[in-house]
Structure 1
């Protein structure tokens, strides 16, 4: 069996790759593994289960709830909420386990299962591997130990979660948003109710688009992967900024008043300076990934802020932050973690904090984001190749060496297999965009020929 867990849980086409049987089995396995690890010792375990609005989330939620309850875990079903809300509630309610059903920015046919440990933190790699192993062991014949009678888990709906999460978001803001006009693109996703209400309660004047989920339209031409509608709406309504979430709202991208994109690196730069000013940027350090734009690194150096870079994936950013006590980290894609207030990337919190900075300074978002200049960066996705051979192909290694020699000190190359999709990502940065495009195109062709 190939590995089920990627960089962000288990994902696949719902009812094809990710079936009800798999979701149920993984949930039972997770309960058994956490019991083995002593997580449930001395008390009856509880889990928080939430989902995004995908139609498939309805039957997958039922499967997860059934699996957990059959393993003796009481379940609090919180319904449609963002991933960071499920993580927050897992922590604040003292639950032993959190489960989120979402495929984030992926198209509607996909779905996913993501587990959180006690406290609302993502499971460690070794626990995910153990869950896979236990699942496979029982899938191939060994029966589960099943409680009976009063030992089975009880299931209840927890309706207060929405208000608890919104109150938390508003409570951690440094200032109100009065006088700021914001367009919110909710990607017809999990934040369609939460985000507009939070911004409105915080004092912003809001215009909302992409906030009518029907189970089928999540991420469809909207949200953080499709900024066109948000750009147009910000300009049309004369807004100060726009905020775009993905399907599960664990990230956000922004748009300034002229409709220009403000990406995760720029958001991190703005928040890093704000937190340093407030004395909250511990160790004067921000955490990024190897995909962070070189312009971000140069800006942080100029501002006297240390940049620590990790592997791609917000889980690795979080691991570094927790290990070293850093307060701020994130990815260019818009996953931003403010560790004092969240255990995972939180798109609504990030958007609120960005708007709060605009309100507090009276400066435009374009002016604030101008702290860094993005070097041209080309990203090419190469599908239908053997992504497992990225690091072992001699032909590919030679092509990368040639490209790096051509770019010199003014650019860089990064090839990496996607953690959530069957493709290889080719990233090239250069001082000149045409050179970046040319080098990226040549490398993409080599990836196809060498790994196809």
Structure 2
């Protein structure tokens, strides 16, 4: 059944437009509070946010909903998403909330929800919430004497800082490293530079002056050019680019070259395998990760397990099959030994540990494989257009046969737009481009066929 409110990562949309309105946020608080209000103990929820102007509005609406449902609210202020997940467990909260639209522009906002175990909610629980949102919840409200209280506990962000610092191996210090970090004017603008400085690094920070409207604006992991420039300017050893809620990271080497999540996963997998820490004899990534990563891992006796696009699917596979390293090409890296969701700062610390231990430059440490040429194009289709069309299926089969073992083909509908995404990769760029163009032509030719 198509969901009305929840997407692949919580509820998200443009602020003050459906569904990202204060009215719905309050109803989310009541609905979620109702579902997690189990037992006789005093129930509590932790709420964090990034730096978007609309965060104040949604925060207050959520407080109204949760307190009306009888839960006590702990307001964390600006804090990375992984900090909310960690503090949900640390404070023994019944539920955690992060108000953020991640890497989206400031006009957007979102509500991410975590269960008491620190993991994002299952599809089943989200379905229960959706069911309640469209009902009269008056009967679910707490009695007058059971209404919850709310208090601001900004000091608890230091728990997250200490947690992140403890993930750096004990034999490693960051002394002698000049680190440039771009906080995207987002949730990590306080915690990330402070954690790096306390670990001994010489820290140069940009993207740490949020004004409510400049989050992700020409900065952060979606716009790493600013960080590349700063690395050159201050002659930094490494650059760290976070996104708006700091659950993903890209690295910039000493030459200003951007290093994506695939290379970072290769570095961590190799290091952890050498130290006997890697579980599952491989890692988990999405179908979008480069074939070069898969070949690199196979050459070291490790496997690459692929999931659908979305970090929640990566985490689900990791939990079900016992892996402790996973992530996405975009830099959303999940290290389950340290947390329940992607954590840009913690992932960066693992890369810094490799750099320090090997005594090499970041470019030497992080360039593990040559990416295979990858071409991705979209074709707009009519509503209801199916990839089961006979002509399309035959064209896909022919393309797969041509690529054989020298490449990979991925064709999938967009989850948010009436588009078909066609991606191919292989050793011969000209061949890959031709195959994608031919498939786009075939799909476009039948796009009006339902």
Scaled by the length of structure 2, the TM-score of the pair is: 0.92
Q: Measured at CA, do residues 216 and 442 of structure 1 come closer, stay the same or move farther in structure 2, by a change above 3 Å?
A: farther
The match for 1:341 is: 338
What SS does the aligned partner of 1:22 have?
A: helix
1:162 aligns with 2:157: yes
The match for 2:128 is: 130
Moved runs in structure 1, 4+ residues, more than 6 A? none
Equivalent position to 1:428, from 406, 410, 424 = 424
1:16 aligns with 2:17: yes
Q: Measured at CA, do residues 235 and 86 of structure 1 come closer, stay the same or move farther in structure 2, by a change above 3 Å?
A: same
More moved, 124-133 vs 227-236: 227-236
CA deviations on 1:312-371 (whole Å, 9 max, x unpaired) are 211111112112222111111111111111110001111121112111211122222232
Equivalent position to 1:146, from 138, 141, 149 = 141
- Paired with 2:447 and 2:33, the residues of 1 have a C-alpha distance of 38
Aligned residue pairs: how many? 444
- Report 1:365-376 matches (<5 A): 365-376=362-373
- Report 1:27-426 matches (<5 A): 27-35=29-37, 40-136=38-134, 138=135, 141=136, 143-174=138-169, 175-380=172-377, 391-392=387-388, 396-419=392-415, 424-426=420-422
What SS does the aligned partner of 2:140 have?
A: coil
Contact kept in structure 1, 2:381 and 2:419, CA below 8 Å: yes
- Paired with 2:381 and 2:355, the residues of 1 have a C-alpha distance of 44
What SS does the aligned partner of 2:340 have?
A: coil
What SS does the aligned partner of 2:84 have?
A: helix
Contact kept in structure 1, 2:183 and 2:242, CA below 8 Å: yes
Q: Measured at CA, do residues 21 and 434 of structure 1 come closer, stay the same or move farther in structure 2, by a change above 3 Å?
A: farther
- Paired with 1:51 and 1:337, the residues of 2 have a C-alpha distance of 20
Contact kept in structure 2, 1:45 and 1:95, CA below 8 Å: yes
**Unaligned ranges ≥5, structure 2:** none
More moved, 244-253 vs 324-333: 324-333
More moved, 426-435 vs 289-298: 426-435
- Paired with 1:353 and 1:241, the residues of 2 have a C-alpha distance of 13
CA deviations on 1:13-69 (whole Å, 9 max, x unpaired) are 11112111111112211222234xxxx223121100011101111101111111111
Q: Measured at CA, do residues 89 and 422 of structure 1 come closer, stay the same or move farther in structure 2, by a change above 3 Å?
A: farther
Scaled by the length of structure 1, the TM-score of the pair is: 0.92
Contact kept in structure 1, 2:326 and 2:333, CA below 8 Å: yes
CA RMSD, aligned part only?
2.2
